[in-house]
Amino acid sequence: MSSARPLRLQRLRPLCLFLTGLGVFLVRPLADDDWSRLPKVLSGAFHRVQPFASLADEARLEAAQDCLRQTKEGGEGPLVADACLVAAVRSDSALVGALLTTLLPPGDLSDWDSWRWADPPPPDAVARRLGRPHLTWVFVGPWFARQGVGMALLDEAVRALMRLGYSELASSFLLGNESSTLWHWRAGFRCLPYPGSMRVVREQIAQEANAKR
């Protein structure tokens, strides 16, 4: 996993309906009954991305279900419901993509401790604007990739976060996922040092040694 520097929330272009070469799509809030349909979309979106790419179709679908269950149940931090969105075909409501935002604890993103809450966050963490929003999942089905669906989802999520009073959005992506790397770069994110890199570890050890002198 690699992390991306928080995006300053300045994307103000209103966008709910958008047109691609494949038709008209709608960006709308995530509904409860969408969760059961998302694993198939995620499985298809990551079918060429490790570690999903090494799995057979059935196992990859199960892995997608497990990942989304973890997110839904708060394993990635509280869901920022207003910034959890899906993209659907306007004509038949078929889901083609989704963006799920959770809440990280406040802190330095180059520190491991900034990616998990040490204690359970309060139930009203989002309402109190605690922590930092994190783009935990953004994925688009393979037939609809590179049509602007992901960017449309991001635009609407940023607008929702700004209405909530947040000013930053962090993200992360799997190492080796070049398309995700480029997408984050085009969207305005900037890479941060990976907390597990040897350079960062050496710097932390040096800082601790200097502090003891």
Instruction: Tell me: pLDDT of 135 over 70.
Output: yes
- Which residue did the predictor score with more confidence, 43 or 196? 43
What are the b/e assignments for 10-35, b being 16+ CB within 10 Å? ebeeeeeebeeeeeebebeebeeebe
SS3 content of the chain, % helix, strand, coil (to 5): 40, 25, 35
Query: Is pLDDT at 12 greater than 50 in this prediction?
Result: no
3-state secondary structure of 178: helix
Q: For 70-74, 142-146, 189-193, which range has the lowest pLDDT when averaged over its residues?
A: 189-193
pLDDT in tens, 137-167: 999 999 888 888 999 999 999 999 999 999 9
Distance CA 65, CA 86 (A): 16
Q: Kindly state the tokens that stand for 146.
A: 């590179």
Residue 184 vs residues 16, 69, 171: alpha-carbon distances, Å: 21, 24, 8
Question: What domains lie within the chain, and their CATH numbers?
Answer: 2-212 (3.40.630.30)
| 77 φ, ψ (degrees, to nearest 5) | 105, 165
pLDDT surpassing 60 at residue 15:
no
For 21, the token pair is 């070469």
